[in-house]
Structure 1
Amino acid sequence: MSDLDSPVEPRRRDAARTRQLLLDAARRRFIRDGYAATTVRDIADDAGVNVSLINRYFASKEGLFEACLGAAVTDLGNDTDGLSRDEIIARVVARISGRDPLDNAYVMLMRSSGDERIDEMRRAILISHARKLAAAGTPGPHALLRAQIVIAAAFGIATMRSALQPEPITSADPAVLHALLTDLIDAVLPR
């Protein structure tokens, strides 16, 4: 029996893995290039799958963006639920001082889709995130404003590292960046 005569085994589909590949590729593209400049073909090529699978799993590019944004929202929400001020700050700092600036929920939240529903979701998670951070810190008349300033600084750093990429912040040692960010946050949001 030759190789041509042997039965061909069908390729196994792994929907969960394919969906995750698409989400990971899309998140990186949306963070790096923005919503408007990203094409579904770019995402499919990065994920190593057929472009038609985006419609199968997400209905459209907007649906995929919404799923990426939803994952960022969940990621940030889980980052702060039931944690102390120091634990929240440690997670914020870890998120923005990580090795990969293109894997950052803050950057994902900054990207607009042009869809009012999605933009409202972004605002809601940012407000919630700031309130949790303010509630975990020292009470005072400007607690929420201080928390929003911390988040704005996190956004700025995330933007510099992912989009603008100036040195030395882009390739800064995570431990050094972590120490400096902690000092900054402690100054704005005292214990």
Structure 2
Amino acid sequence: MLPDSQHGFAPVIHGIARGTAQVSVKQNGYDVYQTTVPPGPFTIDDINSAANGGDLQVTIKEADGSIQTLYVPYSSVPVLQRAGYTRYALAMGEYRSGNNLQSSPKFIQGSLMHGLEGNWTPYGGMQIAEDYQAFNLGIGKDLGLFGAFSFDITQANTTLADGTRHSGQSVKSVYSKSFYQTGTNI
């Protein structure tokens, strides 16, 4: 089970402290993280995620009182996972329509998403029953300053009650970008 700070997607912050330093992170004007780091390079990878993203303002306050500020652009779409983390779901059951005239086929469905380095997340899923099968493959990416997107393709096949077979495809694209200055999300 993951701690709350590891649920959802959030960018990894890299920085360099000249000495022991206090690092604070703000998002949308609110303090969201604070820690003390030793001299040298540091990485922060356990920031809580925000639903729509919002650029992160990172302040490094050195022991001598000097301050460095950097900004980490952050947008997200629902499929994004942190690098190295995998999310999966699997369900099996029997469909009950509430109508005694229809069959109650057994089914299995599942999904898998895995976060890669560079803020990439490949994902896929399937739903299989006696007369219906659907398979989905896609990719999501945090583009930094340019937002985040995901793109997937689904193939579905079915056999109707009269025995005819049908198939179809769908394509889905999702884009997200947060503009903190204007309070706008697209």
Q: Which bin holds the TM-score, normalised by the shorter protein?
A: under 0.3
TM-score, scaled relative to structure 2: 0.27
Higher strand share: 2
Q: Which one has more relative contact order, counting CA pairs under 8 Å at least 6 apart? A: 1
TM-score, scaled relative to structure 1: 0.27
